[in-house]
Amino acid sequence: MRRVAKDTKARVTLTLNGKKTTGEAESRTLLTDFLRHEIGMTGTHVGCEHGVCGCCTVLIDGVAARACLTLAQAADGRSVETVESLTGLDGKLNPLQEALRDHHALQCGFCTPGILMSFTDFLKRVPDPTVEQVKDVLGGHICRCTGYQGLIDAMMDGAKRLRS
Amino acid sequence: MEVLGKPLVRKEDAALLSGRGRYADDIAEPKRTLQAHVIRSPHAHAMIGRIDARAALEIPGVVAVITGEDIAKISDPFLVAVKADVPQWSLAVERVRYVGEPVALVLAETRYIAEDAGEAVEIEYQQLPAIIDLRAAREKTSALVHESAKSNEVHTRAFTYGDPDAAFKAAHKIVKMTSEFPRQSFMPMECFVVVSEYRPADDSYEVMANFQGPFSTQPVMARACRVPGTRFRIKTPADSGGSFGIKLSVFPFMVLCGLASKIVGRPVKWVEDRLEHLVAASSGPNRITEVEAAVDKDGRITALKLDQIEDYGAFLRAPMPGPLYRMHGALTGAYAIQNLSVVSRVVMTNKMPSALIRGFGGPQMYLTLERLVQMIAREMGLDHLEVIKRNLIPAGSFPYKTAAGSLFDSGDYPRCVELATGGGRLEALMKRRDDARKSGKYYGIGFAAVVEPAMSNMGYLSTLLSPEAREKAGPKNGAVSLASVRVDALGAVSVTADCVVCGQGHETVLAQIVAEQLGLRIEDITVNLELDTANSDWSIAAGTYSCRFTPGTAVAAHIAAQRIRDKLSRIAAKQLNVLHTDIEFVKGKIRSKSNPDNAMAFGRVAGTAHWSPIMLPDGMDPALRETAVWAPPELTPPSHDDRINTSLTYGFVFDMCGVEIDPVTCEVKVEKYVSMHDAGRLLNPLIAEGQIRGAFVQGLATALYEEFVYDDGGSFLTGTFADYVVPTATELPELELMHIESPSPFTPLGAKGLAEGNCMSTPACIANAIADALGVENVQLPATPARINAMISGEEPARPAHVAPRQGIASAGTGGAKQKDARQIKGSGSVQVSASPEKVWEALLDPENLKSVIPGCHALEVVGPNDYRAEVSLGVGIIRGRFKAQVKLTDLKPNQSGRLGGSISGPLGNSSGTGLLKLVPDGGGTRIDYDYEVAVFGKAAAVGGRMIEGAAQIVISQFFAAFGRKLGGAPEKKSLAKRLGSLWGGKGTTK
Ligand code: FES
Ligand code: FES
């Protein structure tokens, strides 16, 4: 394990959305703050900073994780994917994103990046989920706007679109 | 209709789905911006003593620590709508009045440093009695939240409409009840963000914030900063992570950061965190309503008497007390009741200030009214639904003038009820209820009928003044909406408007409205809703609140687009050589209706207005820009007899649900929920449904989950998402939505507001279902398992004193603010020592001795007679770190007894306690008996109270154990071990 003295900054190098990226972080810097303020990737949102809301979910080595509960130093040498990885420079949405749009599964959109990343991971592992499974994964996120039904429908439909 | 009224997917979504939103904290701040951290009060009520920032200022990167004193020198208190002396600045001045109140602002180069420095600022408080319970606050003997206001009830007004006394005299029956609405918030996922910059050159402030309006508070902010409105510029970002009324309450921080910027000469940014948001951002007001209905023999209500007592917490922020008056005209709800008397009261307590929240007074009012109707049915042995139907405003009576002055625009309430309960829906629920009850389960059916107002009359708040005072002040009324449509020289169309983005899809709907007029697609319309008071269309009515978008801003955009269309058709008519009435706009072409081949491209016609003014019809101005002002005439000021049309449109919601209650877990499961809406014409059914579903889950949260809980001392106990429970997809019941459309005759689009209805109807509907299931009269929301348990099997026996209650779903139950001793623990113990009482007494008064027995004490400074300040290191459970302790000995009876008071403050907050010591001579030695009470405040109480209490108990035990050891007596080892064990759940000697 890497040791970083208190009050000093150390270099963190990670593969961010497929690109090698380097920045500086203190031992206590959260991955959310590192991504948003050090690197300037603001797609990952912060809703509670205590691991409940799910807004900050990213993929670390392909697995969904709460960036607000992860220290930037702990991501050193890993691969991190954020919501920005889902859309290319042409702005074309992927089938899951399209499903969210079509089912009006977002309003303010603040919870959306985290939910997208959770389901990017989940649908890879469980491509043909039941509604119960979808509700279960969605249960790890708080959305204050949509009332969830659009999200559930979008995930079921998105899974179908991804399968075909 | 080509575009408007269609369920089109949103223009907003592509950016938001790709992580390319532009929320307030995503925007790059000006260079040299300092990051702010707010130091907040750990006490509900206290005088602020010395604030010592020396240690904080020594931390590298810390630039300033600003206090209320600094702020009061350069600003004025915020204006208040009620005539009561309740001044508030953007930082507490002299006194704190709620837990979480901002006391000081630390400015540093980074947020991490600012927070570190916050811990190093030492603030002394002298605690005062906290006024928490709403009823107790009204008692004559109550301490005062604001002494200058002379009473905690700072506003009272009584109103009478029709002849309620006669109706009550003639009543067949009088039904009475009390309803209590809890404190809660709808908790947007994005917290507050502010970047303020003061510009000394012209003494102006520029503020970017995720503020939602109402912009009637803009003059309030400007006045506080002592500048004209034009020099308090507000900008809102392109995206906002939800508002629900809560993001009005960022405004004191917009002023605070501006003043801080003035003090330090650099821009200042503040990003609120979730703990701050939960503890102190904004709460919906809790309300107690005493209600009485006069009822005839058929269950028709002939008159209502309401006494509404609303708790606004510690301060009245503009535009409070809105929730108490926003519904005023519509207080009789969906029912034809023409006799009404109302008393409205505003009460201050030591809780976080109440402000805007989705529903805005409606949830409180309908919980009362709809529970009352169910009670009437119950007391008269009638069917609940039948009583609703008998009282509904009949179809065909619109526009309908209510007792208190609202003009309900359109609707067919009985038909909505028929449709929702028809189609076998109600029968299926009744069958479910019969089956469930047969098998011994609790099952209930609830209904609620709700009139949903939209776009408030700006004059409604002036109803709180007497007619004479209103006369003097001049009439207040209306609601102005503004929108602009521009077409550039290539025919590209853009729209700006006076609403603020909060996630409701305004961009899409405005594009639909304009595209519809101009024969274009929504992709052809660019909408920019980044409001900037320096150069946008706005008025004091601007903002996103009280469902003003659909009946207001949308109409202004419609009118502006019509004017553009009219202008373009006249230009095209001249060039196509036809009458302008023969012109139509179809798929990007402007053409002759009678000869569609006679056509021009939209862009060509638009170009004429810019490039070739010479070709325009005589007298027409060049360029293409129209700003429309929409101000509906129905919104008149309050009349001399206090009648007020509080809103422009009034939709209707009828809800029905079935709930099953588990007799073992006491969990309420909403099995089926039907919600029927009439919101006039729907502009985009997809977005409309999203608004309704979102409001429904928030209503569900009010009914079953969310509540801000305070203990008797005013400590805030629900400071995390584990304590303040927001429902997730797992809690989602089956929801069936239905619609009919009764277009509003008062707006050209016929559309009404619809986003608040279920916040009003759902709590009432579920409460009614619970009452039906359990056969109880009193349903306290949120109906947590603990409360349900109390309804089923009576109140729980009091907790043994040494057991701290648990927080969260399972406990908010014992009654919200009335919760007893939630963060206070008591205990007692004794130590045997071999020294004589005289020796013990001497040791107790000897600082050197105290230093050696206070656990982890490094330094003890004598600050007065028997008054010490100590620095201690603790390491008990999660409670680790260096703390400051104060120890004081009072009530000294030499050699007999004394009181040891102390407090510690540190990284997690504060805790204070007192102990009474008695020295009892005991066979040559002394027995020291002690009783103590410990209270935990601030962050600690909100997030980790139980741990802190345990730690405090251990520290007390350690102190006495060490004291005893020092005086030669062996502490009772076994008992101490037992005592320690008890702290973590076992039973010990603490009684
Ligand atoms: S911000 Fe990470 S879970 Fe809420
Ligand atoms: S869309 Fe606003 S929180 Fe989910």
The pLDDT of residue B963 is above 90: no
The model's pLDDT over A119-163, given as tens digits with 9 standing for 90+, comes to 999 999 999 999 999 999 999 999 999 999 999 999 999 999 999
Q: Which residue has the tokens 């009744």?
A: B430
The closest CB to that of A149, out of B16, B242, B693, belongs to B693
Per the structure block, which two tokens stand in for B26? 């995503």
Identify whether residues A122 and A148 lie together within a single domain.
yes
The pLDDT of residue A58 is above 80: yes
Phi, psi of B958 (to 5 degrees): -60, -40
Identify whether residues A60 and A106 lie together within a single domain.
no
Residues of A in contact with B19 (CB under 8 A): 41-44, 82-84, 86-87, 113
Q: Which residue of A has its CA nearest to B17?
A: A97
Q: Which residues of B920-959 are buried (b: 16+ CB within 10 A; e: fewer)?
A: eeeeebbbbebbbebbbbbbbbbbbbbbbbbbbbbbbbbb
The pLDDT of residue B846 is above 60: yes
- Predicted TM-score (pTM) of the model is 0.90
- Highest mean pLDDT: which of A6-15, A130-139, B874-883? A130-139
Tell me the C-alpha to C-alpha distance, in Å, between residue B494 and each of A116, B484, B515: 31, 8, 10
Q: Which of A55, A101, A103, A110 to mutate for ligand 2's pocket (most ligand atoms within 8 Å of CB)?
A: A110
Phi, psi of B549 (to 5 degrees): -65, -55
Report the nearest atom of ligand 1 relative to the CA of A49.
Answer: 1
Q: Which residue of B has its CA nearest to A52?
A: B721
**Are B687 and A146 inside 8 Å of each other by CB?**
no
Tell me the C-alpha to C-alpha distance, in Å, between residue B840 and each of B571, B830, B837, B846, B893: 102, 14, 5, 10, 13
Tell me how far the alpha carbon of residue B283 lies from the centroid of ligand 1, in angstroms.
22
**In terms of Cα–Cα distance, which of B374, B309, B384, B551 is closest to B452?**
B551
**In terms of Cα–Cα distance, which of B295, B271, B355, B316 is closest to B148?**
B316
Q: Are B751 and B741 in contact (CB under 8 A)?
A: no
Q: Which one has a higher pLDDT value, B908 or A2?
A: A2
Identify whether residues A78 and A16 lie together within a single domain.
yes
The pLDDT of residue B814 is above 80: no
| pLDDT band at residue B879 using 50, 70 and 90 as cut-offs | low
Identify whether residues A155 and A99 lie together within a single domain.
yes
**Residues 686-725 in B contacting A (C-alpha not used; CB under 8 Å):** 686-687, 689-698, 720-722
pLDDT at B935: 75
Q: CB distance from A136 to chain B under 8 Å?
A: yes
By CB atoms closer than 10 A (0-12, 13-18, 19+), residue A8 is exposed
- pLDDT exceeding 70 applies to what percent of chain B? 92
Q: Which residue has the tokens 């979504």?
A: B13
Give dist(CA B549, CA B542) in Å, integer.
10
**Are B729 and A52 inside 8 Å of each other by CB?**
no
The model's pLDDT over A28-49, given as tens digits with 9 standing for 90+, comes to 999 999 999 999 999 999 999 9
Average pLDDT of chain B is 91
Which residues have a Cβ under 8 Å from the Cβ of B106 and sit 6 or more positions away?
Answer: B36, B37, B38, B39, B56, B62, B64, B65, B66, B114, B115, B117, B118, B121
Interface test with B, best of A36, A48, A118 (most B CBs within 10 A): A48
Per the structure block, which two tokens stand in for B472? 């003097």
Provide the shortest C-alpha distance from residue A85 to chain B (in Å): 8
Give dist(CA B145, CA B142) in Å, integer.
9
Residue at A33 is within a domain = yes
Residue at A156 is within a domain = yes
CATH of the domain at A113: 1.10.150.120
SS3 content of chain A, % helix, strand, coil (to 5): 40, 20, 45
Q: Which residues of B602-620 are buried (b: 16+ CB within 10 A; e: fewer)?
A: bbbbbbbbeeeeeebeeee
**Residues 483-522 in B contacting A (C-alpha not used; CB under 8 Å):** 502-505
DSSP B531: -
Strands (E) across B715-754 are located at 734-740
Q: Which residues of B338-355 are buried (b: 16+ CB within 10 A; e: fewer)?
A: bbbbbebbbbbbbbbbbb
**Residues 58-117 in A contacting B (C-alpha not used; CB under 8 Å):** 82-84, 86-87, 91, 93, 97, 100-102, 104, 106-113, 116
The pLDDT of residue B815 is above 70: no
Per the structure block, which two tokens stand in for B902? 């102390």
Residues of A in contact with B241 (CB under 8 A): 45, 47, 108-110
First-to-last C-alpha distance (Å) of chain A: 43
The model's pLDDT over B556-608, given as tens digits with 9 standing for 90+, comes to 999 999 999 999 999 999 999 999 999 999 999 999 999 999 999 999 999 99
Identify whether residues A105 and A78 lie together within a single domain.
no
Q: Report the pLDDT averaged over residues B390-410.
A: 98
Provide the shortest C-alpha distance from residue A60 to chain B (in Å): 17
Identify whether residues A81 and A99 lie together within a single domain.
no
**In terms of Cα–Cα distance, which of B298, B320, B301 is closest to B311?**
B320
Tell me how far the alpha carbon of residue B319 lies from the centroid of ligand 1, in angstroms.
32
Give dist(CA B829, CA B826) in Å, integer.
11
Residues of A in contact with B729 (CB under 8 A): 134-135, 138-139, 141, 148, 151-152
| Fold adopted by B137-184+284-461+636-789 | Aldehyde Oxidoreductase; domain 4 (3.30.365)
Pairing of strands B46-52, B122-127: antiparallel
3-state secondary structure of A65: strand
Q: CB distance from A147 to chain B under 8 Å?
A: yes
The model's pLDDT over B2-52, given as tens digits with 9 standing for 90+, comes to 899 999 999 999 999 999 999 999 999 999 999 999 999 999 999 999 999
* Strands lying side by side in the sheet with B95-96: B95-96, B46-52, B122-127
Phi, psi of B14 (to 5 degrees): -55, -45
Q: Are B583 and B573 in contact (CB under 8 A)?
A: yes
Ligand 1 in reach of A4 Cβ (< 6 A): no
CATH class, B808-975 region: alpha beta
**Are A91 and B14 inside 8 Å of each other by CB?**
yes
Q: Which protein residue's CA is at the shortest distance from atom 3 of ligand 2?
A: A143
Residue at A102 is within a domain = yes
Domain stop point among A85, A111, A146? A85
Q: CB distance from A139 to chain B under 8 Å?
A: yes
pLDDT at A19: 97
The pLDDT of residue B982 is above 60: no
Beta bridge partners of B290: B178, B307
**Are A107 and B18 inside 8 Å of each other by CB?**
no
First-to-last C-alpha distance (Å) of chain B: 75
Domain stop point among A19, A52, A85? A85
Residue at A90 is within a domain = no
Domain of A27 in residue numbering reads as: 9-85
Output the 3-class SS for B212-242. CCCHHHHHHHHHHCCCCHHHEEEECCCCCCC
B359: left (phi over 0), alpha (psi -120 to 50) or beta: left
**Residues 316-345 in B contacting A (C-alpha not used; CB under 8 Å):** none
The pLDDT of residue B972 is above 60: no
pLDDT at B988: 32
Q: How many whole angstroms from its chain centre is CA B793?
A: 33
Q: Which of A33, A35, A36, A56 to mutate for ligand 1's pocket (most ligand atoms within 8 Å of CB)?
A: A56
The model's pLDDT over A71-104, given as tens digits with 9 standing for 90+, comes to 999 999 999 999 999 999 999 999 999 999 999 9
Identify whether residues A100 and A76 lie together within a single domain.
no
The pLDDT of residue B810 is above 50: no
Per the structure block, which two tokens stand in for B539? 């008025």
Domain stop point among A67, A85, A103? A85
The closest CB to that of B189, out of A102, A138, A142, belongs to A142
Q: Which of A36, A42, A49 to mutate for ligand 1's pocket (most ligand atoms within 8 Å of CB)?
A: A49
Residues of A in contact with B735 (CB under 8 A): 147, 149
Report the nearest atom of ligand 1 relative to the CA of A52.
Answer: 3
By CB atoms closer than 10 A (0-12, 13-18, 19+), residue A7 is exposed
Q: Report the pLDDT averaged over residues B369-373.
A: 98
Report the nearest atom of ligand 2 relative to the CA of A47.
Answer: 3
Residue B741, number of CB atoms within 10 A of its CB:
16
pLDDT at B807: 36
| pLDDT band at residue B822 using 50, 70 and 90 as cut-offs | very low
Identify whether residues A33 and A76 lie together within a single domain.
yes
pLDDT at B987: 35
**Are B188 and A82 inside 8 Å of each other by CB?**
no
The pLDDT of residue B62 is above 70: yes
By CB atoms closer than 10 A (0-12, 13-18, 19+), residue B278 is buried
Interface test with B, best of A24, A42, A71, A104 (most B CBs within 10 A): A104
pLDDT at B819: 35
Rg (CA), chain B: 32
Q: How many domains would you assign to chain A?
A: 2
- Considering the segment(s) B13-136+185-272 as one domain, its CATH architecture is Alpha-Beta Complex (3.90)
Tell me how far the alpha carbon of residue A44 lies from the centroid of ligand 1, in angstroms.
10
**In terms of Cα–Cα distance, which of B947, B877, B958 is closest to B909?**
B947
Phi, psi of B962 (to 5 degrees): -65, -40
Provide the shortest C-alpha distance from residue A102 to chain B (in Å): 6
Provide ipTM, 2 decimals: 0.98
**In terms of Cα–Cα distance, which of B400, B554, B410, B401 is closest to B479?**
B554
Give dist(CA B864, CA A155) in Å, integer.
67
Which residues have a Cβ under 8 Å from the Cβ of A105 and sit 6 or more positions away?
Answer: A99, A112, A146, A150, A151, A153, A154
Strands (E) across B384-441 are located at 400-401, 407-408
Q: Report the pLDDT averaged over residues B307-326.
A: 96
Q: Provide DSSP, B615-659.
A: GSPTT--SS-EEEEEE--TT-PPPPTT-----EEEEEEEEEEEEE
**In terms of Cα–Cα distance, which of B341, B21, B73, B402 is closest to B190?**
B21
pLDDT at B445: 98
Q: Which residues of B484-512 are buried (b: 16+ CB within 10 A; e: fewer)?
A: bbbbbeebebebbbbbbbbbbbbbbbbbb
Residue at A66 is within a domain = yes
* Strands lying side by side in the sheet with B583-586: B583-586, B589-592, B599-601
Which residues have a Cβ under 8 Å from the Cβ of B621 and sit 6 or more positions away?
Answer: none
Identify whether residues A99 and A154 lie together within a single domain.
yes
The model's pLDDT over B423-449, given as tens digits with 9 standing for 90+, comes to 999 999 999 999 999 998 999 999 999
Least confident interval from B125-129, B762-766, B784-788, B984-988? B984-988
* One-letter identity of residue B603: G
Provide the shortest C-alpha distance from residue B846 to chain A (in Å): 39
| pLDDT band at residue B808 using 50, 70 and 90 as cut-offs | very low
| pLDDT band at residue B889 using 50, 70 and 90 as cut-offs | confident
pLDDT at B803: 47
Q: Which of A36, A44, A66 to mutate for ligand 1's pocket (most ligand atoms within 8 Å of CB)?
A: A66
Q: CB distance from A24 to chain B under 8 Å?
A: no
Provide the shortest C-alpha distance from residue B950 to chain A (in Å): 23
Tell me how far the alpha carbon of residue B66 lies from the centroid of ligand 1, in angstroms.
30
How do the domains of chain B map onto residue ranges?
Answer: 13-136+185-272, 137-184+284-461+636-789, 808-975
The pLDDT of residue B860 is above 90: no
The model's pLDDT over B689-706, given as tens digits with 9 standing for 90+, comes to 999 999 999 999 999 999
Output the 3-class SS for B875-901. EECCEEEEEEEEEEEEEEECCCEEEEE
pLDDT at B909: 65
Tell me the C-alpha to C-alpha distance, in Å, between residue B509 and each of A44, B6, B31: 27, 10, 36
Provide the shortest C-alpha distance from residue A142 to chain B (in Å): 6
Which residues have a Cβ under 8 Å from the Cβ of B7 and sit 6 or more positions away?
Answer: B684, B685, B686, B687
* One-letter identity of residue B24: A
Provide the shortest C-alpha distance from residue B700 to chain A (in Å): 10
Q: Are B240 and B500 in contact (CB under 8 A)?
A: yes
**Are B18 and A152 inside 8 Å of each other by CB?**
no
Tell me the C-alpha to C-alpha distance, in Å, between residue B571 and each of B281, B514, B559, B976: 53, 18, 18, 94
Q: Are B936 and B949 in contact (CB under 8 A)?
A: yes
Least confident interval from B366-380, B589-603, B935-949, B961-975? B961-975
Residue at A1 is within a domain = no
**Are A147 and B695 inside 8 Å of each other by CB?**
yes
